[in-house]
């Protein structure tokens, strides 16, 4: 894939970092309370319904290689179901946030915090919840797994779409209004195409991240019930139980094939196709390429298929549907201001109630000591994440720079780095755990690297993208003036790649927090390894069905992630944008 295009997309990535305000504000706090209250309500509700979970009539997962293709297919289908749900959510929620000020006030901070919530932590709740909704049916567990993947994907997609909607070029907006396009037509003709590059890139990134969660969410233990959905994740769980190294190897190989197929058959063709939506008035010199896309375009059958799809879209767009999607006008009227005030008052009142509710629930079974314990664990995990990101940076920044400055190497290395980022690292965990067990290493130290096993690649491929985009004339200037090596790193290349590096490190750090839940506690047959930390805290509470502690653990982890984002990553990002942005 074209590196520069990848770079420009990747740069538009994460977390609403462009937004003003560095410190967590009152509003974040309020949204935080809401989200915590939602979890508590879920946990509370599950406890209320005391009936035991109905036994599932699922065909048991076996370690028979003949079943592997089917399992791979099931895993992939779950993935696509989640991405469809995420897209639907994106279209509705982002549009709402962009068109309604009141909705925006709540939705955008909520997305920001939801991105920081460790998804794996509340798998327990959602499984229990969905299994009550669909009692005795496999559908409940399926929904829970899909929901878990959805929660790992939807937020950044929604954010990207929202940001695109808010940055629609003024002249195209005027053309749309000038020709009196209906809201529905405007959505398909202007808004979706304009948002497409960012949305597609974020969707693809979400899918890459999603493999991790699909593997983690297929085999779930809730209290004394263990659900194993047919899929690679369950195969892996079974292989771990039985200490079957060959089966783990097969899972790794299968996952590799699946990701490769996804990369070649889905990711690249879509990115190549989406190139036409890039908002540029000049034709790019090198465009993203995909052999699949080229084949598809040349085949007559596929042309017919695509033609049908595009005329179906056109038909959809031209359906005279009345949507109240007028873009809002700048400048609030007096009535609008009063409305806003009332709305904020309502939100505040609801937040106060939510706070009371959360405190009541947590206080009933937990004391200050528990909070301190969770905080201490959080600190340990924080140290792990920071140290590991630092080590990964020390390793991958020089390598990424070396590769990125050599176009031929970058062309080859970039897809590999993206492949590695998509590969679910938890499939590799058992191998590492088996090694730790047999070498009798200290799990407190040696389990830690697993947290960055899958996420370090984000640093690598962002640095490669940054180094590839580094202007040739600046490199030539530094050669002409014979800059010494240390000086070259300090004054030339590090500032040059800094914005890219921050994006990569930020993504890696967020992913590592999530991974800690599955990385700090690891099993190998009946042997159990544990590193003290917040991830282990949540994992153990989950296994014990101790809902208040799960809620506390998730809350503390979200708090850590939000605060680190605000105090470290967001200022760094803004600094990078201000000082080191080339052109």
Partner 1 sequence: MDVIATAAAPLVEIEHLSHVYRQGGAGDHAVLDDVNLKLRDNEIVALLGRSGCGKSTLLRIIAGLMPATAGAVAIEGEPVTAPAPQVAMVFQSFALFPWLTVLENVEIGLEAQGIDLDERRQRAIAAIDLIGLDGYESAFPKELSGGMRQRVGLARALVVHPKVLLMDEPFSALDVLTAETLRTDILDLWCEGRMPIRSILMVTHNIEEAVLMCDRILVFSSNPGRILAEIKVDLPQPRNRLEPNFRALVDDIYARMTARPSGKKEGLFPGTGIALVLPRVSPNRLAGLIELVAAQPYNGRADLPAIAGDFLMEVDDLFPVAETLQLLRFAEVEHGDIRLTEAGKRFARSGLDERKRMFAQHLVTYVPLAGHIKRVLDERAGHRAPASRFRGELEDSMSEELADQTLRAVISWARYAEVFAYDEDSGVFSLENPT
How many Cα atoms sit within 13 Å of 115 on the Cβ side?
Answer: 27
The residue from 44, 134, 277, 306 that contacts partner 1 (CB under 8 A) is 277
Q: Of the ranges 206-214, 281-289, 433-441, 458-466, which one interacts with partner 1 (CB under 8 A)?
A: 281-289
483 to 90, 355, 476, 490, 492: CA distances (angstroms): 48, 58, 11, 10, 9
User: Pick from 573, 437, 399, 575: which is nearest to 17 by CA?
Assistant: 573
Task: Indicate whether 402 belongs to the interface with partner 1 (CB under 8 A).
Answer: no
Under 8 Å between Cβ of 214 and 233: yes
Residues in 186-225 that interact with partner 1 by CB under 8 A: 189-190, 193, 196
The residue from 279, 306, 357, 376 that contacts partner 1 (CB under 8 A) is 279
How many Cα atoms sit within 13 Å of 99 on the Cβ side?
Answer: 15
Task: Indicate whether 278 belongs to the interface with partner 1 (CB under 8 A).
Answer: yes
Task: Indicate whether 357 belongs to the interface with partner 1 (CB under 8 A).
Answer: no
* CB nearer to partner 1: pick between 363 and 491: 491
Task: Indicate whether 9 belongs to the interface with partner 1 (CB under 8 A).
Answer: no
Residues in 26-65 that interact with partner 1 by CB under 8 A: none
- Break the chain down into helix, strand, coil percent, rounded to 5: 75, 5, 20
* CB nearer to partner 1: pick between 200 and 562: 200
Task: Indicate whether 268 belongs to the interface with partner 1 (CB under 8 A).
Answer: no
Task: Indicate whether 182 belongs to the interface with partner 1 (CB under 8 A).
Answer: yes
Q: Of the ranges 6-14, 96-104, 174-182, 545-553, which one interacts with partner 1 (CB under 8 A)?
A: 174-182
Q: Tell me if residue 327 falls in helix, strand or coil.
A: coil
Q: How many residues bind partner 1 (CB under 8 A)?
A: 27
- 443, two tokens: 């799990």
Q: How far is the CB of 445 from partner 1 (least distance, A)?
A: 40
Distance CA 14, CA 197 (A): 15
Residue 426 DSSP label:
G
Residue that has been written with the tokens 């760094």 in this structure: 572
Radius of gyration of the chain (CA): 24
Q: How far is the CB of 503 from partner 1 (least distance, A)?
A: 22
Task: Indicate whether 335 belongs to the interface with partner 1 (CB under 8 A).
Answer: no
Residue that has been written with the tokens 């502690």 in this structure: 549
Q: Of the ranges 154-162, 178-186, 355-363, 521-529, which one interacts with partner 1 (CB under 8 A)?
A: 178-186
Distance CA 580, CA 301 (A): 48
Q: Of the ranges 47-55, 73-81, 173-181, 429-437, which one interacts with partner 1 (CB under 8 A)?
A: 173-181
* CB nearer to partner 1: pick between 277 and 402: 277
Residue that has been written with the tokens 């979890």 in this structure: 39
Task: Indicate whether 171 belongs to the interface with partner 1 (CB under 8 A).
Answer: yes
* CB nearer to partner 1: pick between 311 and 479: 311
- 248, two tokens: 């783990």
* CB nearer to partner 1: pick between 177 and 491: 177
**Strand residues in 181-224 grouped as ranges (E):** 219-222
* Per-residue mark of binding to partner 1, 302-331 (x: CB under 8 A): ----------------x-x----------x
Torsion from C-alpha of 505, 509, 515, 519, nearest 10 degrees: 90
Supply angle C-alpha 212, 415, 237, rounded to 5. 20
In the complex, the residues that contact partner 1 under the rule CB under 8 A are 169, 171-172, 174-175, 177-182, 185, 189-190, 193, 196, 276-283, 318, 320, 331
């Amino acid at each position: 894939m074209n590196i520069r295009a990848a770079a420009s997309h990747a740069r538009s990535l994460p977390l609403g970092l462009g937004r003003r305000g560095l410190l967590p504000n009152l509003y974040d706090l309020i949204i935080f309370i809401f989200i915590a209250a939602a979890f508590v309500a879920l946990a509370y509700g599950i406890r209320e319904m005391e009936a035991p979970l109905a036994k599932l009539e699922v065909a048991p997962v076996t370690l028979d290689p003949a079943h592997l293709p089917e399992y791979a297919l099931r895993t992939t289908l779950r993935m696509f179901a989640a991405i469809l749900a995420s897209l639907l959510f994106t279209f509705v929620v982002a549009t709402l946030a962009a068109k309604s000020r009141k909705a925006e006030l709540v939705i955008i901070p909520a997305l920001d915090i939801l991105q920081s919530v460790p998804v794996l932590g509340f798998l327990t709740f959602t499984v229990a919840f969905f299994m009550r909704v669909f009692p005795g049916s496999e559908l409940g567990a399926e929904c829970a797994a899909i929901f878990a993947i959805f929660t790992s994907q939807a937020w950044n997609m929604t954010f990207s779409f929202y940001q695109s909607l808010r940055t629609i070029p003024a002249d195209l907006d005027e053309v749309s209004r000038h020709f009196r396009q209906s809201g529905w037509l405007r959505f398909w003709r202007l808004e979706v195409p304009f948002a497409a590059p960012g949305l597609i890139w974020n969707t693809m990134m979400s899918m890459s991240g999603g493999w991790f969660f699909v593997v983690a969410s297929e085999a779930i233990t809730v209290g004394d019930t263990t659900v194993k959905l047919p899929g690679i994740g369950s195969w892996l769980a079974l292989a771990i139980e039985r200490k079957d190294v060959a089966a783990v190897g097969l899972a790794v190989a299968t996952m590799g094939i699946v990701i490769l197929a996804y990369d070649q058959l889905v990711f690249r063709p879509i990115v190549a196709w989406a190139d036409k939506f890039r908002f540029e008035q000049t034709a790019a010199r090198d465009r993203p390429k995909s052999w699949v896309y080229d084949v598809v375009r040349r085949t007559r059958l596929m042309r017919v298929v695509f033609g049908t799809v595009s005329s179906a879209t056109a038909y959809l767009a031209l359906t005279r549907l009345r949507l109240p999607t007028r873009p809002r006008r700048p400048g609030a009227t007096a009535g609008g201001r009063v409305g806003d005030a009332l709305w904020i008052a309502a939100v505040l009142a609801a937040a106060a109630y939510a706070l009371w509710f959360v405190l009541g629930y947590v206080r009933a079974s937990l004391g200050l000591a528990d909070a301190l314990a969770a905080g201490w664990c959080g600190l340990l995990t924080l140290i792990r994440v920071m140290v590991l990101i630092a080590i990964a940076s020390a390793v991958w920044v020089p390598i990424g720079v070396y590769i990125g400055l050599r176009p031929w190497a970058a062309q080859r290395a970039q897809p590999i780095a993206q492949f590695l980022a998509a590969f679910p690292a938890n499939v590799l965990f058992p191998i590492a755990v088996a090694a730790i067990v047999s070498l009798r290493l200290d799990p407190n130290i040696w389990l830690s690297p697993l947290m960055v096993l899958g996420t370090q690649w984000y640093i690598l491929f962002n640095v490669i993208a940054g180094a590839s985009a580094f202007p040739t004339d600046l490199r030539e200037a530094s050669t002409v003036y014979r800059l010494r090596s240390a000086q070259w790193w300090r004054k030339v290349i590090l500032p040059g790649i800094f914005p890219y590096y921050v994006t990569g490190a930020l993504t890696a750090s967020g992913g590592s927090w999530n991974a800690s839940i599955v990385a700090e506690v690891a099993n190998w047959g009946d042997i159990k390894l544990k590193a003290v930390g917040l991830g282990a805290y949540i994992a153990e509470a989950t296994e014990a069905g101790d809902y208040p502690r799960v809620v506390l653990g998730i809350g503390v982890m979200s708090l850590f992630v939000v605060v680190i984002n605000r105090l470290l990553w967001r200022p760094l990002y803004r600094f990078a944008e201000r000082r080191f942005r080339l052109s």
